[in-house]
Amino acid sequence: MQIATTIQEVRTQIKEWKKEGASVGFVPTMGYLHEGHGSLISRARAENDKVVVSIFVNPMQFGPGEDLESYPRDLEKDSAYCESLGADLIFHPEPSEMYTEGFCSYVDMSVLTEELCGLSRPVHFRGVCTVVNKLFNIVQPNRAYFGQKDAQQLAVIKRMVEDLNMDLEIIGCPIVREEDGLAKSSRNTYLSAQERQAALVLSQAVALGEKLAADGETDAKKIVGEMIALIEKEPMARIDYVKAVDGLTMQQIDTVKRPMLIALAVYVGKTRLIDNFMLS
Protein backbone atom coordinates (compact mmCIF):
# COMPACT_ATOMS: atom_id res chain seq x y z
CA MET A 1 0.00 0.00 0.00
CA GLN A 2 1.27 3.40 -1.01
CA ILE A 3 1.03 6.55 1.12
CA ALA A 4 1.00 9.73 -0.99
CA THR A 5 1.26 13.22 0.44
CA THR A 6 1.26 15.19 -2.83
CA ILE A 7 -1.41 15.62 -5.49
CA GLN A 8 1.18 14.83 -8.16
CA GLU A 9 1.96 11.40 -6.67
CA VAL A 10 -1.74 10.52 -6.63
CA ARG A 11 -2.29 11.72 -10.20
CA THR A 12 0.66 9.68 -11.49
CA GLN A 13 -0.60 6.49 -9.82
CA ILE A 14 -4.22 7.02 -10.91
CA LYS A 15 -3.12 7.60 -14.53
CA GLU A 16 -1.24 4.29 -14.49
CA TRP A 17 -4.24 2.44 -13.09
CA LYS A 18 -6.61 4.02 -15.60
CA LYS A 19 -4.26 3.02 -18.43
CA GLU A 20 -4.59 -0.58 -17.24
CA GLY A 21 -8.39 -0.17 -17.31
CA ALA A 22 -8.70 -0.47 -13.52
CA SER A 23 -11.75 0.95 -11.73
CA VAL A 24 -11.09 3.16 -8.72
CA GLY A 25 -13.15 3.25 -5.51
CA PHE A 26 -12.60 6.21 -3.18
CA VAL A 27 -13.29 6.69 0.54
CA PRO A 28 -12.77 10.26 1.82
CA THR A 29 -12.15 10.48 5.59
CA MET A 30 -10.67 12.70 8.27
CA GLY A 31 -8.81 9.74 9.77
CA TYR A 32 -8.75 8.25 13.26
CA LEU A 33 -10.42 5.35 11.54
CA HIS A 34 -12.91 2.95 13.12
CA GLU A 35 -15.17 0.18 11.83
CA GLY A 36 -17.58 2.75 10.35
CA HIS A 37 -14.84 3.89 7.97
CA GLY A 38 -13.80 0.24 7.65
CA SER A 39 -17.21 -0.73 6.29
CA LEU A 40 -16.81 1.88 3.52
CA ILE A 41 -13.29 0.69 2.66
CA SER A 42 -14.40 -2.97 2.58
CA ARG A 43 -17.31 -2.13 0.31
CA ALA A 44 -14.98 -0.16 -1.99
CA ARG A 45 -12.55 -3.11 -1.93
CA ALA A 46 -15.32 -5.50 -3.01
CA GLU A 47 -16.58 -3.31 -5.87
CA ASN A 48 -13.42 -1.84 -7.46
CA ASP A 49 -10.02 -2.89 -8.79
CA LYS A 50 -8.21 -0.19 -6.80
CA VAL A 51 -9.10 1.51 -3.53
CA VAL A 52 -7.97 4.99 -2.46
CA VAL A 53 -8.59 6.34 1.07
CA SER A 54 -7.97 10.00 1.81
CA ILE A 55 -7.08 11.05 5.35
CA PHE A 56 -7.34 14.81 5.62
CA VAL A 57 -8.66 16.92 8.49
CA ASN A 58 -10.04 19.65 6.27
CA PRO A 59 -9.65 23.06 7.95
CA MET A 60 -12.24 24.62 5.63
CA GLN A 61 -15.13 22.63 7.08
CA PHE A 62 -14.46 23.66 10.69
CA GLY A 63 -15.95 26.90 12.01
CA PRO A 64 -14.35 29.21 14.57
CA GLY A 65 -14.32 27.60 18.02
CA GLU A 66 -14.81 24.08 16.64
CA ASP A 67 -12.42 21.17 17.25
CA LEU A 68 -9.99 21.52 14.29
CA GLU A 69 -6.88 21.59 16.52
CA SER A 70 -7.99 18.85 18.90
CA TYR A 71 -9.44 16.52 16.24
CA PRO A 72 -7.83 13.10 16.92
CA ARG A 73 -5.11 11.92 14.55
CA ASP A 74 -3.14 8.63 14.29
CA LEU A 75 -1.71 8.06 10.83
CA GLU A 76 0.30 5.00 11.83
CA LYS A 77 -2.70 3.12 13.19
CA ASP A 78 -4.89 4.30 10.27
CA SER A 79 -2.32 3.07 7.72
CA ALA A 80 -2.15 -0.38 9.30
CA TYR A 81 -5.96 -0.54 9.33
CA CYS A 82 -6.28 0.53 5.67
CA GLU A 83 -3.64 -2.00 4.66
CA SER A 84 -5.42 -4.79 6.56
CA LEU A 85 -8.60 -3.99 4.60
CA GLY A 86 -6.79 -4.11 1.26
CA ALA A 87 -6.59 -0.41 0.38
CA ASP A 88 -4.07 0.39 -2.37
CA LEU A 89 -3.31 4.03 -1.64
CA ILE A 90 -3.72 6.53 1.19
CA PHE A 91 -3.74 10.20 0.25
CA HIS A 92 -2.63 12.21 3.28
CA PRO A 93 -1.89 15.80 2.21
CA GLU A 94 -0.88 18.74 4.37
CA PRO A 95 -3.41 21.62 4.32
CA SER A 96 -0.83 23.68 2.36
CA GLU A 97 -0.89 21.03 -0.42
CA MET A 98 -4.67 21.33 -0.73
CA TYR A 99 -4.98 25.09 -0.22
CA THR A 100 -2.16 26.93 -1.91
CA GLU A 101 -1.56 30.64 -1.35
CA GLY A 102 -4.26 32.74 -2.94
CA PHE A 103 -6.89 29.97 -2.87
CA CYS A 104 -10.33 31.52 -3.49
CA SER A 105 -12.59 29.05 -5.33
CA TYR A 106 -15.46 27.35 -3.51
CA VAL A 107 -18.39 25.04 -4.13
CA ASP A 108 -21.43 26.56 -2.44
CA MET A 109 -24.78 24.82 -2.24
CA SER A 110 -28.09 26.32 -1.11
CA VAL A 111 -31.34 24.65 0.10
CA LEU A 112 -29.99 21.31 1.39
CA THR A 113 -27.22 22.97 3.38
CA GLU A 114 -29.51 25.52 5.03
CA GLU A 115 -31.11 23.03 7.43
CA LEU A 116 -29.98 20.68 10.23
CA CYS A 117 -26.17 20.86 10.69
CA GLY A 118 -26.01 23.79 8.25
CA LEU A 119 -27.82 25.99 10.79
CA SER A 120 -25.41 25.42 13.66
CA ARG A 121 -22.34 25.00 11.41
CA PRO A 122 -22.77 27.73 8.77
CA VAL A 123 -19.45 27.25 6.94
CA HIS A 124 -19.36 23.46 7.23
CA PHE A 125 -20.93 22.32 3.96
CA ARG A 126 -19.09 24.85 1.83
CA GLY A 127 -15.89 23.31 3.22
CA VAL A 128 -17.15 19.77 2.65
CA CYS A 129 -18.36 20.40 -0.93
CA THR A 130 -15.18 22.24 -1.86
CA VAL A 131 -12.80 19.61 -0.50
CA VAL A 132 -14.80 16.66 -1.84
CA ASN A 133 -14.89 18.32 -5.26
CA LYS A 134 -11.11 18.81 -5.12
CA LEU A 135 -10.56 15.22 -3.99
CA PHE A 136 -12.77 13.91 -6.80
CA ASN A 137 -10.73 15.95 -9.29
CA ILE A 138 -7.49 14.53 -7.90
CA VAL A 139 -8.54 10.87 -7.49
CA GLN A 140 -10.94 10.64 -10.47
CA PRO A 141 -12.85 7.76 -8.86
CA ASN A 142 -15.49 5.63 -10.55
CA ARG A 143 -17.28 5.26 -7.22
CA ALA A 144 -17.08 7.13 -3.91
CA TYR A 145 -18.35 5.80 -0.59
CA PHE A 146 -20.02 7.85 2.16
CA GLY A 147 -21.68 6.84 5.44
CA GLN A 148 -25.36 7.28 6.22
CA LYS A 149 -24.08 8.36 9.66
CA ASP A 150 -23.62 11.82 8.07
CA ALA A 151 -26.97 11.66 6.28
CA GLN A 152 -27.12 15.34 5.33
CA GLN A 153 -23.56 15.19 3.96
CA LEU A 154 -24.50 12.15 1.85
CA ALA A 155 -27.57 13.95 0.45
CA VAL A 156 -25.49 17.08 -0.24
CA ILE A 157 -22.77 15.14 -2.07
CA LYS A 158 -25.34 13.27 -4.19
CA ARG A 159 -26.97 16.59 -5.10
CA MET A 160 -23.61 18.19 -5.94
CA VAL A 161 -22.65 15.28 -8.19
CA GLU A 162 -25.97 15.53 -10.01
CA ASP A 163 -26.02 19.34 -10.25
CA LEU A 164 -22.43 19.64 -11.46
CA ASN A 165 -22.51 16.58 -13.76
CA MET A 166 -19.68 14.79 -12.03
CA ASP A 167 -18.94 11.48 -13.66
CA LEU A 168 -18.97 9.06 -10.73
CA GLU A 169 -21.34 7.03 -8.62
CA ILE A 170 -21.99 7.94 -4.96
CA ILE A 171 -22.66 4.97 -2.73
CA GLY A 172 -24.24 5.39 0.72
CA CYS A 173 -23.37 2.83 3.40
CA PRO A 174 -25.30 1.97 6.59
CA ILE A 175 -24.42 3.33 10.04
CA VAL A 176 -22.02 1.11 11.99
CA ARG A 177 -22.73 1.12 15.74
CA GLU A 178 -21.04 0.00 18.94
CA GLU A 179 -22.62 -3.07 20.56
CA ASP A 180 -24.71 -0.87 22.86
CA GLY A 181 -26.04 1.20 19.95
CA LEU A 182 -23.84 4.33 19.96
CA ALA A 183 -22.96 5.25 16.37
CA LYS A 184 -19.21 4.87 15.87
CA SER A 185 -17.46 8.22 15.51
CA SER A 186 -13.93 9.54 15.80
CA ARG A 187 -15.37 12.15 18.18
CA ASN A 188 -16.54 9.46 20.67
CA THR A 189 -12.96 9.55 21.93
CA TYR A 190 -13.72 12.97 23.51
CA LEU A 191 -16.31 11.40 25.87
CA SER A 192 -15.56 10.68 29.54
CA ALA A 193 -16.88 7.35 30.90
CA GLN A 194 -19.94 9.12 32.29
CA GLU A 195 -20.57 11.02 29.03
CA ARG A 196 -20.10 7.80 27.02
CA GLN A 197 -22.98 6.30 29.04
CA ALA A 198 -25.13 9.43 28.61
CA ALA A 199 -24.44 9.42 24.84
CA LEU A 200 -26.56 6.29 24.52
CA VAL A 201 -29.58 8.58 24.61
CA LEU A 202 -28.97 9.40 20.91
CA SER A 203 -29.31 5.84 19.65
CA GLN A 204 -32.15 5.22 22.11
CA ALA A 205 -34.01 8.19 20.60
CA VAL A 206 -33.34 6.83 17.11
CA ALA A 207 -34.66 3.41 18.12
CA LEU A 208 -37.78 5.02 19.61
CA GLY A 209 -38.40 7.08 16.46
CA GLU A 210 -37.91 4.06 14.24
CA LYS A 211 -40.34 2.03 16.31
CA LEU A 212 -43.02 4.72 16.25
CA ALA A 213 -42.69 5.02 12.46
CA ALA A 214 -42.71 1.24 12.03
CA ASP A 215 -45.87 1.05 14.19
CA GLY A 216 -47.58 3.37 11.70
CA GLU A 217 -47.32 6.82 13.31
CA THR A 218 -47.86 9.31 10.49
CA ASP A 219 -47.36 12.53 12.46
CA ALA A 220 -43.66 13.36 12.10
CA LYS A 221 -43.96 16.11 14.73
CA LYS A 222 -45.22 13.54 17.23
CA ILE A 223 -42.29 11.20 16.52
CA VAL A 224 -39.82 14.08 16.91
CA GLY A 225 -41.61 15.25 20.09
CA GLU A 226 -41.29 11.84 21.72
CA MET A 227 -37.62 11.62 20.76
CA ILE A 228 -37.01 15.07 22.26
CA ALA A 229 -38.82 14.09 25.48
CA LEU A 230 -36.59 11.02 25.80
CA ILE A 231 -33.37 12.99 25.26
CA GLU A 232 -34.44 15.69 27.71
CA LYS A 233 -34.55 13.07 30.47
CA GLU A 234 -30.75 12.75 30.21
CA PRO A 235 -29.23 15.60 32.28
CA MET A 236 -25.86 15.50 30.46
CA ALA A 237 -27.48 15.92 27.03
CA ARG A 238 -28.27 19.25 25.37
CA ILE A 239 -30.21 19.17 22.11
CA ASP A 240 -28.93 21.13 19.10
CA TYR A 241 -31.74 19.82 16.90
CA VAL A 242 -34.06 16.88 16.35
CA LYS A 243 -35.91 17.24 13.05
CA ALA A 244 -37.89 15.33 10.45
CA VAL A 245 -36.99 16.36 6.91
CA ASP A 246 -37.59 15.27 3.34
CA GLY A 247 -34.88 12.65 2.66
CA LEU A 248 -33.77 14.35 -0.57
CA THR A 249 -34.22 18.09 -0.04
CA MET A 250 -33.57 18.23 3.73
CA GLN A 251 -36.62 20.55 4.11
CA GLN A 252 -38.64 20.14 7.30
CA ILE A 253 -41.85 18.07 7.10
CA ASP A 254 -44.75 17.54 9.51
CA THR A 255 -46.20 14.33 8.09
CA VAL A 256 -44.31 11.09 7.56
CA LYS A 257 -43.34 10.52 3.93
CA ARG A 258 -40.70 8.53 2.10
CA PRO A 259 -37.84 9.14 1.84
CA MET A 260 -37.86 10.84 5.24
CA LEU A 261 -34.84 11.54 7.40
CA ILE A 262 -35.10 12.07 11.14
CA ALA A 263 -31.80 13.53 12.23
CA LEU A 264 -30.47 14.73 15.55
CA ALA A 265 -27.47 16.58 16.91
CA VAL A 266 -26.96 16.53 20.65
CA TYR A 267 -24.20 17.90 22.85
CA VAL A 268 -23.03 15.49 25.53
CA GLY A 269 -20.80 17.65 27.68
CA LYS A 270 -18.79 19.66 25.13
CA THR A 271 -18.97 16.96 22.45
CA ARG A 272 -21.50 17.37 19.65
CA LEU A 273 -22.75 13.98 18.41
CA ILE A 274 -25.10 13.18 15.53
CA ASP A 275 -27.32 10.24 14.68
CA ASN A 276 -30.30 9.59 12.42
CA PHE A 277 -32.58 7.16 10.72
CA MET A 278 -33.98 7.18 7.22
CA LEU A 279 -37.32 5.83 6.05
CA SER A 280 -36.83 5.01 2.39
Question: Considering only 34-42, 103-111, 119-127, 267-275, which stretch makes contact with ligand AMP by CB under 6 A?
Answer: 34-42
Of 181 and 269, CB closest to ligand AMP: 181
| Buried residues in 4-21 as b, exposed as e (16+ CB within 10 A) | beebeebeebbeebeeee
146 touches ligand AMP (CB under 6 A):
yes
29 touches ligand AMP (CB under 6 A):
yes
186 touches ligand AMP (CB under 6 A):
yes
Of 36 and 118, CB closest to ligand AMP: 36
CB of 14 within 8 A of CB of 27?
no
**What are the backbone dihedrals phi and psi of residue 124, each rounded to the nearest 5 degrees, phi first?**
-60, -55
149 touches ligand AMP (CB under 6 A):
yes
Least separation in angstroms between CB 199 and ligand AMP: 13
**How many residues of this chain interact with ligand AMP, rule: CB under 6 A?**
17
- Which residue in the shown chain puts its C-beta closest to ligand AMP? 147
93 touches ligand AMP (CB under 6 A):
no
CA dihedral 203, 208, 209, 212 (to 10 degrees): 160
Instruction: Kindly identify the residues of this chain, within the stretch 240-259, that bind ligand AMP according to CB under 6 A.
Output: none
276 touches ligand AMP (CB under 6 A):
no
Of 37 and 50, CB closest to ligand AMP: 37
Radius of gyration from C-alpha coordinates of the chain:
19
121 touches ligand AMP (CB under 6 A):
no
124 is a catalytic site residue: no
Cα 171 to Cα 144: distance, rounded to the nearest angstrom: 6
